């Protein structure tokens, strides 16, 4: 396959992608007390520890008859995990003993179905692999009660399967990566309107399986709002729903598949509402006295149906840090000095010239009325230029002995302050002198999401335990304060212990009953979600 | 209880509500060949046939200890069925042999839970009763494998339980009727923004249980878009979700409860996003050359995010009929003559003065550009004045020997013409010289709903079989053409045979597994949905 491949130990292609600017070293020193020098590097592929494949000859032959099968070390190591902090710690250390025994890549929905049936019969655990971008352990190579594990690579289910211009409805292969989907749609004058930070690698099916929210979801909607229909191959057969704009025909089965994270089956096709390519895009910044003033302004916009397509309000610390890392330009420095202690809101509008002009005018007026002062397009353009940079920079930070974790939640407007404060306190109490950043984004009439980034000097002896303590403290705080354990990163293995606190015992039981029905052999993505 | 009560054989309170205008007789004669004279009247309560209650003393005592219990004839007859055409045929004829053995009205969610546990232990079937407005047999008194049946009346779970002004989030008792909800919310400056034709009787919990769409759902969203959270008492315990604006924490369990139509449990509370009371409302009409031209215009609005809050496009027949029945005013007659063979689109905007003015201006410009000619506010006001009249008039039509059935579906814009034509043909082929009206409403970027009203001279000997033939033909046509079996009326008993065609066999099995888990004794609303 000629698809681009990510490095096995981090984000992006080898040697490509954004890096930390040179002047970041000073910032790391003053803020986190680390030297800024490279203290650790990932192992080479040759150094990775890998057990021989446990796939027997008979099974290998059977699966190879149904799909492309690869069991060379590079393939197994490259499909071993996702991209969570823990995943990267292990991959960088060459700890791939548990790697899948083979990577199996079927070429069609029917082939996926056949592979699942074969695996169910043989008792082989299956981890579906879309873009491989999970940051919550969604791809951990857990075998459950099975001895053999395969990674089911959806990479060959790609491209536009059918396109209905009149209904603005595109059927895409579940394994289609977002940039490729947008490229193909763009040739017809459309776009997905879905841009999570994992955009470069994430797949359409993976987004649906994890209830992804893109950076413009305030305007374009979360993935589940744009999935009109989908097809999901399960060991027990196919789950699919009619491509109709709305229905009252019973509980929404597509809403069960969305968020199922591979524990029921594999999303082979997604029927998505797509958006006309925007003639205009405008990103700009507004400053607010403090975080609360900013989110009150956002609340007003959301409740008056005037929210921009993109809305991201950084707290005081994130605002300070973004200027500090933005570069050494005199202009940025000056703006950073003026905005010290303030909060920057980035707004973005995309659409026709008329729509962007009109909506921007109304929103800008409301924001000024709510105490915001306009900063022009520079902060907006700066955000847009680095919108996918975060996970690339994480690799550089890991090299420099910095722990970096992102976590996100959502709650009602009334509960936002309490939630922010509880999570910040938990991170500050569980990490050594961390830097905790927060932004509010994805605004809704009833509430918003909060996204935290925590940096700290890495514990050189046991970074995994250090991370676990912080994760435990932060998630306990979220649950105790009534936030959701995840607004868009999904549950995976990392949040699974807390799912019951969110769904209740019967809710968990219902999910188990559902899994039992679709996957009686328990082969699908063991150890995730429930 | 002092709640208003509906007549047991029709819609509305005895002697109240809109009636057919005097000049309708001529129309009925010319269009359907019926005389227009009253040929049938409902029986009186005393004439209704009712078996003695099968509730034993011990069970009666146990349930009466948990909730208000009524088993007088009026209560049992009044909770015997919903308001489908078949329901009314039977109720008008006094056929209530199968009526529930008692009406049980708990005062709290905890009491509902206790009643369900008691019924599960005793093997008593339970039909939850909210507003009693089902038109799909959702309240048919089916006992399944049980000998005793109760109607679980949610009428005492009413009112605002809590209100969060900042988040514009109201928790309402599941049994709160929509007008009462709006009255209570109105005192705080808010409204539900949910106005189905059943508005006068429907309850908040009933709307959620059936995935209701109101007349303004194009603007305010279907009920499932506004339900932030809910609590559902099942025989196995409570299913509930966190009140957060969005989450990626697994499959959406609230989406399983919505549309479950009482087969899993009883929705006791609903946390709804509410809308500020609109300062302005404006309803107006536009005429189009034909139905297709009208829906092309609507499609443009929906895809450009400019759709009005209310959009209802009548086809040529419905347009003609609405003018014919509108009255004898010279103005209406003149407009009716001019618009013969044309289609009228009613648009409505609700919101702040600025929002209504701006959105109306943009939409009106686009509609004119798409070939619509403005008719001013008269057609819009006429629609608004009679927006809840339909089911009242049905009672008068039944008196006059007219069969009237409404059915609805939805599909993509590309498939709308084929679906309309298939359903119309099916109704015309299965009914004697019927009058088939259609309107498109509830528009979405990817498609729209189609709502059909069929009138025909009633078969005096076997009206139920006549209806069944038409229902079978129409629903088969819907399924064959790829429409959903219901866009907002729900499944009930009437559509249940076709649900598998929509969900697939595994989809149905998943629903059964879900029911098995929440209701192992199979007491909840037997014979509905699955």
SS (H, E, C) A274-312: CEECCCEEEEEEEEECCHHHHHHHHHHHHHCCCCCCEEE
Rounded Cα distance, A166 and A273, in Å: 11
Question: How many domains is chain B built from?
Answer: 4
pLDDT of residue A322: 87
Which whole-number Å values give the CA distances from B208 to B188, B231, B246, B272, in the listed order?
A: 23, 11, 18, 10
Question: Touching check for B228 and chain A: CB below 8 Å?
Answer: yes
Within an 8 Å CB–CB cutoff, is residue A224 touching chain B? yes
Q: Does residue A238 belong to the interface with chain B, where contact is any CB pair within 8 Å?
A: yes
A457 occurs within a structural domain: yes
Q: Are B116 and B265 in contact (CB under 8 A)?
A: yes
The CA distance from A530 to B250, in Å, is: 9
User: Chain B within 8 Å of A202 (Cβ-Cβ)?
Assistant: no
Tell me, yes or no, if A247 comes closer than 8 A to chain B by beta carbon. Answer: yes
Write down the pLDDT at residue B330: 75
From chain A residues 292-311, the ones with a CB under 8 A of any chain B CB are 299, 303-305
Nearest CA in chain B to A168: B446
Containing A25, the helix (H) or strand (E) segment is helix A24-32
Whether residue A326 sits in one domain with residue A238? no
Are A169 and A190 contained in the same domain? yes
Whether residue B37 is found in the same domain as residue B127: yes
Is residue A122 domain-resident? Answer: no
Of all residues in chain A, the one with the smallest CA distance to B448 is: A245
- Judged by CB atoms closer than 8 Å, whether chains meet at A412 and B245 is answered as yes
Of A244, A248, A449, the CB nearest to B483: A244
For residues B216 and B294, state if they share a domain.
Answer: no
Task: Tell me which of B341, B366, B385 is where a domain ends.
Answer: B385
Chain B CB within 8 Å of residue A234 CB: yes
Q: How far apart are CA A484 and CA A423, in angstroms?
A: 12
CATH of the domain at B231: 3.30.465.10
The answer as to whether A76 is a domain residue is no
Residues B265 and B289 in one domain: no
Burial (CB < 10 A; 0-12, 13-18, 19+), residue A319, is buried
Same domain (yes/no): B243, B347? no
| Buried b / exposed e along A102-112 (16+ C-beta atoms within 10 A) | bbbbbeebebb
User: Residue A66 corresponds to which tokens in the numbers above?
Assistant: 């149904």
Question: pLDDT (tens digit, 9 = 90+) per residue, A243-275?
Answer: 999 999 999 999 999 999 999 999 999 999 999
Helices (H) and strands (E) in chain A, counts: 19, 18
CB-based contact (8 Å) between B40 and chain A? Answer: no
What part of B 316-335 touches A (C-beta under 8 Å)? none
* Residue-number span of the structural domain to which A170 is assigned: 160-276
Q: Judge: B256–A260 Cβ closer than 8 Å, yes or no.
A: no
| Same-domain pairing of A173 and A242 | yes
Rounded Cα distance, B298 and B393, in Å: 29
Intervals of chain B under pLDDT 50: 1
Contact of A518 with chain B, judged by CB distance below 8 Å, is answered with yes
Interface A-B: count of C-beta contacts within 8 A: 284
Same domain, A436 and A369: no
B525 in a domain, yes or no? no
Separation between Cα atoms, residue A403 and residue A32, nearest integer Å:
10
Spatial separation of the C-alpha atoms in residues A196 and B270, rounded to whole Å: 31
Evaluate whether residue B407 is within a structural domain: yes
Q: Do A510 and B517 touch (CB under 8 A)?
A: yes
- Cβ–Cβ below 8 Å for A245 and B169: no
**Contact (CB, 8 A) for A452 and A436:** yes
User: Does residue A319 form part of some domain?
Assistant: yes
Q: Which residues of B touch A482 (CB under 8 A)?
A: 242-244
Residue A513 has a pLDDT of 97
Distance, in Å, from the CA atom of B439 to the CA atom of B291, rounded to the nearest integer, reads 9
CA distance A8 to chain B (A): 26
Any A CB within 8 A of B260 CB: yes
Listed residues A276, A307, A342: the one ending a domain: A276
Establish if A106 belongs to a structural domain: no
Boundary of a domain, candidates A261, A276, A291: A276
Contact assessment for residue A495 and residue A475, using Cβ atoms and an 8 Å cutoff: yes
pLDDT of residue B1: 42
> In this complex, do A249 and B499 lie within 8 Å of one another by their Cβ atoms?
yes
A248 and B507 within 8 Å at the Cβ level: the answer is no
Task: Give the Cα separation of B260 and A502 in Å (integer).
Answer: 21
Residues in B closer than 8 angstroms to A505, CB to CB, are 237
CATH code of the domain covering residue A416: 3.30.300.330
pLDDT at B14: 81
Q: List per-block mean pLDDT (blocks of 10 residues) for chain A, which spans 530 residues.
A: 84 87 88 94 97 96 98 97 98 98 98 98 98 98 98 98 98 98 98 98 98 96 98 98 98 97 98 98 97 97 96 96 76 83 97 95 97 96 94 96 97 98 98 97 97 97 98 98 98 98 97 98 97
Residue B19 resides in a domain: no
Same domain, A288 and A183: no
The pLDDT tens digits for B279-295 are 999 999 999 999 999 99
Domain shared by B54 and B144, yes or no: yes
Give the model's pLDDT for residue A2: 62
B206 contacts: CB under 8 Å, gap ≥ 6: B130, B131, B133, B154, B174, B212
Q: What is the CATH number of the domain that holds B304?
A: 3.30.70.3450
* Contact: B506, A518; criterion CB under 8 Å: yes
Q: Do B412 and A445 touch (CB under 8 A)?
A: no
| CB spacing of A510 vs B253 below 8 angstroms | yes
Q: Dump the DSSP string for A189-253.
A: TEE-----TTTTT-BHHHHHHHT---TTHHHH--HHHHEEEEEEEETTEEEE----S---SSS-T
A19 to chain B, closest Cα gap in Å: 30
Tell me which chain B residues have a C-beta less than 8 angstroms from the C-beta of A246: 213, 222, 410, 442, 444, 449, 484, 487-488
Tokens describing residue A70: 């690869």
The SS3 assignment for B376 reads strand
B110/B192 same-domain check: no
Asked if A249 has any chain B CB less than 8 Å from its own CB, the reply is: yes
Q: Are A380 and A395 members of one domain?
A: no
Tokens of B28: 């009925």
CA distances from residue A152 to A69, A75, A106, A126, B442 in whole angstroms, order as listed: 10, 12, 8, 6, 40
User: Which H helix or E strand runs over A391?
Assistant: helix A390-399
Q: How many contiguous H segments (helices) and E segments (strands) does chain B have?
A: 19, 18
Q: Please choose, from the candidates B282, B273, B82, B285, the residue with its C-alpha nearest in 3D space to the C-alpha of residue B194.
A: B273
Contact (CB, 8 A) for A389 and A325: no
* pLDDT on residue B398: 97
């Amino acid at each position: 396959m000629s698809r681009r491949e990510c490095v096995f130990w981090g984000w992006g292609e080898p040697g490509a992608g954004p890096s930390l600017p040179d002047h970041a070293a000073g910032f790391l020193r003053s803020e986190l007390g680390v030297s800024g020098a490279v203290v650790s590097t990932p192992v080479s592929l040759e150094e990775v520890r890998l057990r021989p494949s446990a796939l027997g000859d008979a099974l290998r032959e059977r699966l190879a008859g149904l799909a492309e099968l690869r069991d060379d070390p590079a393939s197994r190591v490259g499909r071993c995990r996702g991209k969570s902090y823990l995943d990267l710690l292990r991959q960088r250390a060459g700890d791939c003993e548990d790697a899948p025994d083979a990577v199996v890549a079927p070429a069609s929905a029917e082939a996926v179905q056949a592979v699942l049936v074969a695996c169910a019969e043989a008792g082989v655990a299956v981890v579906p692999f879309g873009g491989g971008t999970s940051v919550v352990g969604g791809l951990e190579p857990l075998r459950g009660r099975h001895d053999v594990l395969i990674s089911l690579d959806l990479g060959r289910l790609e491209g536009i399967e059918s396109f209905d211009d009149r209904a603005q409805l595109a059927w895409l292969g579940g394994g289609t990566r977002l940039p490729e989907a947008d490229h193909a749609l763009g040739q017809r004058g459309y776009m997905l309107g879905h841009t999570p930070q994992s955009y470069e690698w994430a797949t359409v099916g993976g987004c649906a399986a994890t209830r992804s929210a893109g950076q413009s979801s305030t305007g374009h909607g979360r993935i589940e709002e744009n999935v009109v229909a989908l097809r999901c191959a399960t060991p027990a057969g196919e789950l699919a729903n009619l491509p109709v704009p709305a229905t009252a025909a019973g509980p929404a089965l597509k809403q069960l598949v969305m968020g199922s994270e591979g524990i029921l089956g594999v999303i082979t096709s997604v029927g998505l509402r797509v958006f006309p390519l925007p003639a205009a895009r405008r990103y700009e910044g507004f400053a607010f006295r403090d975080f609360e003033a900013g989110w009150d302004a956002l609340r007003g916009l959301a409740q008056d149906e005037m929210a921009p397509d993109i809305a991201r309000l950084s707290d005081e610390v994130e605002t300070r840090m973004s200027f500090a890392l933005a570069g050494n330009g005199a202009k940025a420095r000056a703006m950073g000095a003026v905005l010290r202690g303030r909060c920057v809101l980035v707004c973005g509008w995309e659409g026709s010239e008329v729509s962007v002009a009109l909506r921007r005018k109304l929103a800008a007026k409301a924001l000024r009325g709510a105490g915001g002062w306009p900063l022009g397009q520079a902060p907006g353009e700066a955000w847009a230029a680095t919108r996918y940079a975060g996970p690339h920079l994480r690799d550089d930070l890991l090299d420099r002995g910095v722990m970096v974790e992102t976590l996100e939640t959502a709650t009602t407007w009334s509960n936002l302050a309490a939630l922010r404060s509880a999570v910040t306190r938990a991170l500050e109490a569980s990490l050594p002198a961390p830097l905790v950043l927060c932004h509010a984004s994805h605004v809704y009439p009833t509430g918003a999401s909060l996204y935290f980034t925590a940096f700290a000097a890495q514990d050189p002896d046991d970074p995994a335990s250090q991370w676990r303590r912080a994760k435990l403290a932060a998630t306990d705080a979220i649950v105790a304060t009534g936030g959701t354990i995840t607004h868009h990163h999904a549950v995976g293995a990392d949040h699974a212990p807390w799912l019951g606190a969110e769904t209740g015992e019967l809710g968990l039981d219902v999910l188990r009953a559902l899994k039992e029905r679709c996957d009686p052999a328990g082969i699908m993505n063991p150890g995730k979600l429930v």
